[in-house]
Homo-oligomer: A and B are copies of this chain.
Amino acid sequence: MTVPDVHLRSAGTALPGEPVDNATLASHFGMSEQWEQWIDLFVGTRSRHLSTDLASGEPTCTLADLCAEAAAGALDAAGVTAADIDLVVLGTSTPDQLMPATVNVVADRLGIDGVAAYQLQSGCTGAVQAMDVATQLLRTGRHRTALILGGDVSRKFYDPGADLSSLPLEQVVHYVLFGDGAGAAVLSTEPGPGSVLIRHVFVRLVGKGRAPGQMLDWFGPADRHSDRPPAEEDYKAIERHVPGMALEVLDEVLAELEWKRDDVGFLLPPQLSGRMTDTIVDLLAVPTAREISFVRQTGNNGNATPFFQLRRALSQMSGGDRAVGVSIESSKWIKSGFAAEKP
């Protein structure tokens, strides 16, 4: 059997509502001007989009809504229809419900049926996980055209009535760092206009013996009164480990493909915060590459992030251009990366 190439045909994205800037956040939560400046200076994220209306506290959309919108854009851009899709893979850490899995709800909305649909429970590497699983399944020849999705909606953790001044810092950062959004892409064994070739993709757990750097819990009816912390982030551990892991991913991708640093025209770095992305990009040291980052505008929207980067990259890459993407998940420490090349 000849192993088919896998082509990234298109990407689509979706964001809820208008950007919420730091001044609006500070004002809503009754925080000081200094707090606002602290975000600007030390986090470097200027705005984010939320699926919660801060004023009313009401949800404005679900993950399925955002995924369906992003997917419609990706299908349209690839020139394919729901009937062409024979595999769907979604990565998210915040599904709308545990059952049905959100991927199946999105498929229904799009009119996709009679195919395999998988949802990967994942933090920031979920988009690359979806890309990896879909790419491998396409390579078996059993599938021809896959829709991959990623997204996160923090609504159930984002309490517009929270008293941020009394919360531990590792919980406050969630209100600042993260935003909501979704993305989608079409992968196919057939190239299309403007498509790029997936040259390499990998996901690697490196969590042995290491404490989680990020935790997100969920509650059921039997433990709604639990005092377990709902979400925690070891920002120091993340700052210490993520840049080095990102460098290892880049080096591994380059070694695998026998590419040199100078060959990389587009760099899609991790997007935890504006500041962290700057640190990582400096460390990666690919001066020839155009950096594609959205984190200052969108916040870290988790599994959506790489699709925003891919969409921009697709619009800018010319023949022979090469792109490398890196995502690091600090939950239990997962490295992931991919490389694409325009024929």
Q: Which A residues are within 8 Å of any B CB, using their own CB?
A: 1-3, 52, 88, 93-95, 97-101, 103-105, 107-108, 111-123, 129, 132-133, 136-137, 139-140, 142, 155-160, 162, 202-210, 212, 214-225, 230-231, 331-332, 334
Contacts and interface: CB of A to CB of B under 8 A. Distances in A.
A170 B13 CA distance: 37
Given A140-B139, A142-B136, A113 B203 contact: no
Question: Which 9 pairs between the two chains have the least Cβ-Cβ distance?
Answer: A156-B220, A100-B332, A113-B208, A104-B332, A159-B222, A100-B331, A99-B331, A218-B218, A99-B216
B219 A218 contact: yes
A68 to B, nearest CB: 14
A67 to B, nearest CB: 14
Contact of A204 (B1, B115, B139): B115
A118 B137 CA distance: 14
A218 B108 CA distance: 21
Contacts of A118: 120, 129, 133, 203
Contacts of A207: 100, 104, 107-108, 113
A215 B116 contact: no
A145 to B, nearest CB: 15
A144 to B, nearest CB: 14
Interface of A is mostly: loop
A205 B332 contact: no
Contacts of A88: 205
A233 to B, nearest CB: 10
29 contacts: A1-B2, A3-B140, A95-B121, A98-B121, A98-B217, A98-B218, A99-B215, A99-B331, A99-B332, A100-B215, A103-B121, A108-B209, A111-B208, A112-B205, A115-B204, A116-B205, A117-B203, A118-B203, A119-B122, A133-B133, A133-B137, A136-B136, A157-B222, A162-B222, A218-B218, A218-B219, A218-B220, A219-B221, A224-B224
Given A221-B157, A222-B155, A205 B120 contact: no
Contact of A157 (B94, B114, B220): B220
B206 A113 contact: yes
